[in-house]
Structures are given as C-alpha cells and as structure tokens.
Amino acid sequence: MRAQKIVIVFFSLVLFFAYAIWRYDLRLPQPPSIILIEIDSLRPDHLGCYGYYRPTSPNIDALAAQATRYTNCYSTSTWTIPANYSLLTSLYPQQHTVVSPYRTLDPSISTIMSFLNKERYPIGIFNDHFYFFDHLNPRHLWPAITYSHHADAESVNRAAKQWLARCPRPFFLWTYFLGPHRPYAAPPPHQGLFPYADAPPMPLAKSALEYYDGWDSIPQSVAQNGIMNPEFYIARYDETIHYADAQVGELIRTLKEQNLFDNCLIIVFADHGESLGEHHLFFNHTWTLFNEIIKIPLIVKWPHITQPRVVHSPASILDIFPTIVRAMHKTPPSTTNGIPLQNTIDHRRQILCYNPGLGTCIIDAGWKLIKYTPRDPYALKTLHFFFPNHDRETYQLFDLTNDPAELIDRMRLNPDQAQHLIGQLKYLETPLKAHAFPIHKHPVPPDMQETLKSLGYTQ
C-alpha cells in the first residue's frame, strides 16, 4: 500500500511539473528575439561610446552601456551590396560573388533568412535604403518575410512598431537606416545641430566620374550650395548620425514598452565606414581599403545581460550570422566563415576585406597588408594616386599598433613581415575563389540608374 502511494505521489508530481512547463512556458533556455539595427556608412570613431567628442549618439551610447562593444570589427567590403551579402551568408564576397548591382545571390546558399524560416521565426525587414533590399527581393526566396521600403527613417520605425505589436514571439526584426550615407542631409531638428570650424576650401570635383570622385576635392554629389569647406560636410555627416541615433532610441523605447527588451539579442552595426579626408579621399567609401572605410561599429546587447563589456579581439561582419544561430542554441551551418561572437573573447584571427575592382587586404596580429590589383580605369587612378606610373599589382604594409592612421608604408622597412602576409593572403584567397558560387545576373531597371549614380554605386 505504501509503495502504491509513493507511485501515485511520484506520477502526480510528474504531471504537475509537465502542466507547469506547458502552462507557464518554463522551458529553459528560451530562444531570444533577434533585432539587427544597421546604419549605413557609420564610422565607429564618430560615436560617443567609441570616444568621439561630438554628442552624435546618445541613444547608441546608452545601449552600449549595457552591452558588449567591439573595438576592432571589420566589414568584408567597402560598399553596401557585397558587405550585406556577406552579412546574410557569412561568406566572403569572393565566395557569394554578389559584388555589383548586376548580380544576385545563388538560391542554394544558406542565409540568415532561410535559417530563421526553418526555425519558424516571424521575419520583418523595414528600411529606407532605396536599393539594397529591393535588389535582394526576398519574397521569391523567403515568402514568409514581411518586407517594406520607406521614404525616411521615421517611417521605418513606424512600420517596425506596427509589426512588433502583432507578431508572435520570438521574432527577427531588421531595421536598416540609410542615415549617414552621402549626401549627408539630416532633417530638422538635426540639421544644423553641430557648429563647424573654418577650413581651407577644397575644389569641387567635376569630372566624368563625379559620382566616384573625392580625391583632394568635394564630390559633386555631396556639394551643397557650392560650399567648399570640408568641415561643413563633416558636421553634416555627424548630424545624419544624430538623426539615425534618434531612430535607434525610439526603437529601443518601443521594445521596453512592450516588455521585449530583456529577451532580445540586439546587434547594432554598419555595412562600412566613410572617408572624411583621410588619405586624400573626401566623402566617399568606394576606392580605398583603409580603416576609415572598412572598420565598423559593432554593439551587441545579449539576452538578459546588461553588464557592459569592451572586446578588443578582431571581429567581422561575417560573425553576425553564426552569432544569431548560436544565440538560438543551434549549430551554425558548416558553410559559414564567421565565428560566433560568443567565442571571440581573446581570439586571434586573420581578417580579410575585398574591394571589387581594386584589391584585397589582410589584417593579422596588428599588421595590415593591402594588395592592389586594379581592373578598371578608376581603380587604376587610385593606384596611381599612391604609386605614380605604376600599372601592376603592388602592396602597402602598415603597423596598426604604432601607426593606426595608416600613414607610413612599411613594405621596405619590414620586408619579412610583408612577405609573410603576402603568403597568408594567397593561402586564404585561393580556396575562396576555388569554391565560389555561380554568378547570377540581375537586371537593373533603367529608371534606377541615376539613383545608383547619385549614391556612387555605378558610373
């Protein structure tokens, strides 16, 4: 009889806990909701949390105060389309091959979207970038996505808030703010917010390639009312950051109001940076591989963790996909090149970045090698700017520890280090090219050509 009572009590407890788990969803760990906040052309050194002197980013700074901030994160490319496809796939541009507006992704490649669809995550993408997401056209690959393009960042936030109010949990939300992308035109009250100093005037670039220009000049596509003071445009750039930051703050407030913030993995990042006069290039991000263009901010708010942390180990935009997968307590696809950011503490690694038509760089243990292999006339102009009358493959070497501004070419001063990195770059690039996915052409409507030119994507 006593044994029978023990059995009854045991099974009663089993049923009670089973009911509690079903009724109150006590299963641990629970998968988080995931939010990507991408801000185009955003330099880390123009954010307060990275030490900038202007108050450009109070909301991002507040988020960073309860998140992990990565100080050495790099993109895989110098402009939007190759970088974002690396984000989506955790593949280098040489592998996914989407390196121009006239290509699209091979449908067999695993992406963040296809992975989340299999996990039954609701997916919402809202943006004010006129081209990238239309080019991606996710509907034909991932029909479960809610996707919309908007005229400005406020509209992006409104659409995201409406979607959040009705979508089930957990979810995946990607907001994309064009923000600091040239021509640096923030709306009031952000416009005119930051005073600027007088500086020697720069000439306005008026060449046949004006949308690409900016060598010791102000690009025609950036110039406003004929103003030739470069400090004016740097202040305008900072104001567009302040505008994007306000949208980030509004989104974070919405998450907190809906009691979603704690269980969210929130990742704030950029696709690339912007040259603001460094290395003679003004207000452009297309034609060099220096850190002002390839170094990006990366701030990660982990679910249920508000302890701030700063990580100096190298990180990459490639890491975002496997980080999302690991946060869901899953194993990243074997094709991914990135490392889950959960694993990057004190992790030594080599970083690659690719500039279609110009060349590649490798960063390893505080050294950086740039390999120039120009394949078109304007890339050759870039090469001639640094190496007059030089038409062949060539290199630059920089000691990032002692020369973070990349001002002293050390190819002749450190030949052994140069040869080591040349060998490492060849070793890493060869399998990337050997295992590249097929090229798929993507038609661009004629009415989109001028807009592409105005943003510097085509000639």
pLDDT tens profile 224-268: 998 999 999 999 999 999 999 999 999 999 999 999 999 999 999
Task: Report pLDDT digits (tens) over 254-313.
Answer: 999 999 999 999 999 999 999 999 999 999 998 899 999 999 999 999 999 999 999 999
Alpha carbon distance 97, 133 (integer Å): 17
402 lies in some domain: no
Give the confidence band of 12 by pLDDT, cuts at 50, 70, 90: low
148 lies in some domain: yes
Alpha carbon distance 427, 356 (integer Å): 19
Count of the separate structural domains present in the chain? 1
426 lies in some domain: no
The CATH number covering residue 237 comes to 3.40.720.10
Model pLDDT, residue 242: 98
Amino acid identity for residue 151 in this structure? A
Domain ranges, residue 109:
31-348+445-454
21 lies in some domain: no
Cα-Cα-Cα-Cα dihedral sign, residues 375, 296, 293, 80: positive
Assess whether pLDDT exceeds 90 at residue 133: no
335-362 mean pLDDT: 87
**The two three-digit tokens of residue 190, written as one number:** 């952000």
381 lies in some domain: no
Strands (E), 16-170: 33-39, 68-74, 103-104, 123-127, 145-149
Alpha carbon distance 209, 192 (integer Å): 29
Give CB contacts under 8 A, 24+ apart, made by 118-123. Answer: 119/31, 119/328, 119/330, 121/34, 121/170, 121/171, 121/172, 122/146, 122/167, 122/168, 122/171, 122/172, 123/171, 123/172, 123/174
